[in-house]
Structure 1
Amino acid sequence: MKILMVCLGNICRSPLAEGIMKTKVSESFFVDSAGTISMHEGEHPDKRAIKTASNHNIDISRQKSRPITKADFDTFDKIYCMDIDVYEDVISKVKNEEQRKKISLFLEASGDHKNAEVPDPYWGDMKDFEEVFQLLDRGCDAIISEILP
């Protein structure tokens, strides 16, 4: 199973989701993250995201931001978007219905807050990053229970 987490810049929410998911699934899973913009391409996650993950014994410091690519739609089995704008941007890039079916809102897929969005903590403080971490952690658990038999 190949899972892609997607947010806007790939420096806060999706790197956290990638890191959390990697700690919860076996090595037979491939988990990655991407952004819908390339503004931060090649950069490590936001220092606050790295610190928040580290507080939970998860190391995301070596991740590097990258934009989502056309190849991702064929490579990944599941693509989870952190908010509506990201979802709409990702959906606009698909070439067929098969690819579209792989894409969901993260919280919707996790059974939490129908059509809700994972808030972007970028403009917030460490408390906001911790709240997002907790939301992503619960969401990853719910997604795992859905995709694992």
Structure 2
Amino acid sequence: MLKVLFVCLGNICRSPTAEGVLRHKLHTAGIRDGYLGNIFIDSAGTGGYHIGEKPDKRSRKAAEKYGVSLEDIRSRKLTLQDFTDYDYILGMDQENIYNMKALAPEEHHHKIRLFMEYGENCPGITEVPDPYSGGLDGFDRVYNIIDRGADGFLKYLTTNYDL
């Protein structure tokens, strides 16, 4: 089974949105995820500020506009075991990448990538900005960036794996 982990700082805005969006796209494409499927999608934060909490209500609201539910997602902190367990560990920005590489054993550094390396139709966007301190429009913008990143990542996965 292929395992993908999205990572941001607190695991309440960007990474749970990416988890929900990719799950939605997989289901739309007829690909089962979870322990009974061929792919497992999860998210975590480099900080443990919101452990056990639902995603930020503004993230949930932005996702709901597009038919994506984040209701079953709960925040958790990235663990050392995650670097062994996951095949792709996708950070939302360079700070996340830096923090993960500082924690991860060297043999797992190749799994750590910027999520937007897979983005399509988003020239110049290399990171997903953190919308936490802003208004609702920032969450809508982040959703749209993540949606394009997920399109590219799903294309990459279906080209390179038998899902």
- The alignment's TM-score, normalised by the length of structure 2, stands at 0.86
In structure 2, the residue corresponding to 1:5 is in which secondary structure?
Answer: strand
- Please give the alpha-carbon distance, in whole angstroms, between the structure 2 residues aligned to 1:29 and 1:74: 16
Partner in structure 1 of residue 15 of structure 2? 14
Q: 1:139 aligns with which of 128, 145, 149?
A: 149
**Once the two structures are aligned, what percentage of the paired residues are identical?**
40
Partner in structure 2 of residue 104 of structure 1? 113
Superimposed CA distance per residue, residues 8-67 of structure 1 (whole angstroms, 9 cap, x where no aligned partner): 000000010000000112222110000000011111110000111111111102211001
- The alignment's TM-score, normalised by the length of structure 1, stands at 0.93
Consecutive unaligned residues of structure 2, counting only runs of 5 or more, are 33-37
- Please give the alpha-carbon distance, in whole angstroms, between the structure 1 residues aligned to 2:155 and 2:52: 32
Letter in 2 for 1:74: T
- Please give the alpha-carbon distance, in whole angstroms, between the structure 1 residues aligned to 2:117 and 2:102: 19
Higher mean alpha-carbon deviation, 54-63 vs 12-21, is at 54-63
Q: CA RMSD in A?
A: 1.5
CA contact (8 A) 2:21 2:146 kept: yes
Superimposed CA distance per residue, residues 111-135 of structure 1 (whole angstroms, 9 cap, x where no aligned partner): 6557822111111111110110010
Higher mean alpha-carbon deviation, 60-69 vs 3-12, is at 60-69
Consecutive unaligned residues of structure 1, counting only runs of 5 or more, are none
How do 1:58-73 residues align onto structure 2 when only pairs under 5 Å count? Answer: 58-73=68-83
In the comparison of the two structures, how many residue pairs are matched? 148
